[in-house]
A and B are shown apart, each in its own frame.
Chain A
Amino acid sequence: MTEHFVAPPLWEWYIVWYFFLGGLAGGAYLIGTLLRLVGDPRDEGVARLAFLVAFPAMVICPLLLTLDLGRPSRFWHMLIDSRTGVPNFKYWSPMSLGAWALLFFGLFATLSFIEVVFKEGYARNAPARGIASLMSGGFGRLLMIVGAVLGLFIAGYTGVLISVSNQPVWSDTWTLGGLFLASGLSVAAATLVILARGRSDTASTEGKLSRADAFFILLELILLVAFFVTLGALASRLLAPRWLVLWALVAIGTIIPLAMTRMRSGRRGAPVLAGLLVLIGGLALRIVVIFGAQM
């Protein structure tokens, strides 16, 4: 373990929710893209739902980040050097990289959202038609793939960001990027399972989503074990009594949904319940990792 004497950066609720929604937005965009690329035509309903979910989740992210700044009016300093006016880009600083990734992911999430809004018949104007036709062709697929890669980055880089510090716990493990990514994918799949109940064209995809989520949860559990192994004795800091309720929620939000998928419960509400537990677990994980290292 590296021995440092570091003050907490006071990253609190805005950051917790950003990490959660970033994972949801990026994960949903990837799921939507993959459903279109490798699924069958009956999966289009859930794919559309995924793009409809990714956009609002993405829009909230920069707002949360801006509100968290000490000087919100200077949010643009993340992208532009305020002294020279030239773009600020430090690939070795995940916060700098993330600001750019969020900007570009926002562009792709917006395009896909408009496309779906048009196809669903909510907007019929000429710009929406143009975007829908752009996104429907082969070039549109390419755009979607680039958006999905950016979505993956958004879902995972947050863990790398806190690792690229000297903060005990965060900087003592390589697992946080993967852990947040796996959890983000799982949260996105769970959200889509829940919201799919509101549509009539999603029945054939629900099972696929649940199976994918089971795999994401498995990945998350493996990374959770790796997280504690890499922390070694330092893990005791995160296992203090005050955090045990949150860890219990993380356990409930992973193990129970996984078991429910395995058991293939015939009850109609079971996938929704499993999805809700995943959402609670995903949020609890971010709360305990973010607050736990700072106290």
Chain B
Amino acid sequence: MARTVAFFTDTTLCIGCKACEVACKEWNQLPGHQPTFLDSFDNTGRLDEQNWRHVQFIERGTPQGTVAWSMMSDVCKHCALASCMEVCPTNAIIRTEFDTVYIQPNVCNGCRDCIAACPYNVIGFNQDTGLAQKCTFCYDRLQQNLVPACAKACPTESIKFGDLSQMREVARTRLKVVQDQGVPNAQLYGEKEYGGLHALFLLTDKPEAYQLPRAEHAVLPSRNNVRGYLGSAVTAVLGILGAVIAFRQRGEG
């Protein structure tokens, strides 16, 4: 059943339990990386081919001089205008009937162009399978009308799932509540960026604190096509001109 789905991740409710990460790995049969310890509570590090949810633990100073944690369960944003999809030369990356962005494992040839394109550091390269991998939005569960594993497992309902329009509504309502409770920096992320994201976030700090580019920086790789080719074309013309001048001169000997 086709529908336009979205996540709404409310960072003010995240307690850093990582149930989303575990549920995601369980359902999607992701073995994960070898664990490393003694670094920080955020030992997942980043989203990649094994981690399709990543609970960021961000330390920041408070006005009282203490250190507070901001936690955010990060995930693929399933952008309406997706950089990964734009550059993919094999058409392995498609938009599904749920308006999500999906890498078809039987089509991807592991060129990794999508990894350089994703502005959210989402996609990773699986050395074992030779494929680019990321969150599928639990495509198989959506097809069975089930809630994605991460949203299902989240004990505090920090991760909400539903239709995009409904999630936007929920997010706006929640933003107002949080602002009224005295969090002036609270803001929504994902309504404007890349044509509107299918993963909205309620943040309590500026986007870049969560490794999210600000709206004015949410630009597609294709922005560089014209100027890149133009630079090459001018160089080509000058190069030909130089060569012609050199080659027309009388040779020695």
Contacts and interface: CB of A to CB of B under 8 A. Distances in A.
Contact of B86 (A77, A93, A153, A223): A93
Interface in B153-203: none
25 contacts: A2-B213, A4-B217, A5-B119, A6-B121, A9-B113, A11-B116, A43-B251, A70-B108, A70-B126, A74-B109, A77-B109, A81-B90, A88-B90, A93-B86, A93-B113, A95-B89, A156-B236, A174-B224, A177-B228, A181-B236, A182-B235, A204-B251, A208-B247, A212-B243, A223-B231
A157 B252 contact: no
Contact of A208 (B132, B211, B213, B246): B246
Interface of A: 2-11, 30-31, 34-35, 38-40, 42-43, 68-72, 74-75, 77-78, 81-83, 88, 90, 92-96, 99, 152-153, 156-157, 159-167, 170-171, 174-179, 181-182, 185, 203-209, 211-212, 215-216, 218-219, 223
Contacts of B232: 152-153, 156-157, 159-160, 177-178, 181
Contacts of B43: none
A211 B249 contact: yes
B48 A223 contact: no
Contact of A10 (B112, B119, B219, B245): B112
Contacts of B46: 7
Nearest to B124: A7
Interface in B91-124: 91-92, 104, 106-113, 115-121, 123-124
Interface centre among A30, A165, A212 (most CB of B within 10 A): A165
B249 A10 contact: no
A69 B253 CA distance: 49
Contacts of A40: 250-251
B226 to A, nearest CB: 9
B1 interface: no
Contact of A216 (B108, B211, B242): B242
Contacts of A82: 90, 106-107
A212 B242 contact: yes
A163 to B, nearest CB: 4
B89 A70 contact: no
A49 to B, nearest CB: 14
B231 A178 contact: yes
Interface centre among A5, A90, A163 (most CB of B within 10 A): A5
B113 A165 contact: yes
Contacts of A38: 244, 247-248
Contacts of B81: none
B216 to A, nearest CB: 9
Nearest to A216: B239
A81 B89 CA distance: 9
Interface centre among A7, A11, A208 (most CB of B within 10 A): A7
Contacts of A31: 243
Nearest to B244: A38
Given A88-B89, A208-B251, A69 B236 contact: no
A272 to B, nearest CB: 16
A189 to B, nearest CB: 8
Contact of A39 (B113, B221, B247): B247
Interface string B57-97: 00000000000000000000000000100111111100000
Contacts of B221: 164-166, 171
A43 B107 contact: no
A159 B228 CA distance: 8
B235 A156 contact: yes
Contact of B243 (A7, A167, A170, A215): A215
Given A159-B232, A215-B242, A78 B90 contact: yes
Contacts of A205: 251
A7 B219 contact: no
A5 B243 CA distance: 42
A83 B88 CA distance: 15
B144 interface: no
A152 B233 CA distance: 9
Contacts of A152: 232, 236, 239
A216 B252 CA distance: 21
Given A39-B247, A77-B109, A166-B118, A93 B89 contact: yes
Contact of A7 (B115, B126, B229): B115
Interface centre among B46, B91, B235 (most CB of A within 10 A): B235
Nearest to B222: A92
B110 A71 contact: yes
Interface centre among A70, A78, A162 (most CB of B within 10 A): A70
B235 A181 contact: yes
Nearest to B238: A219
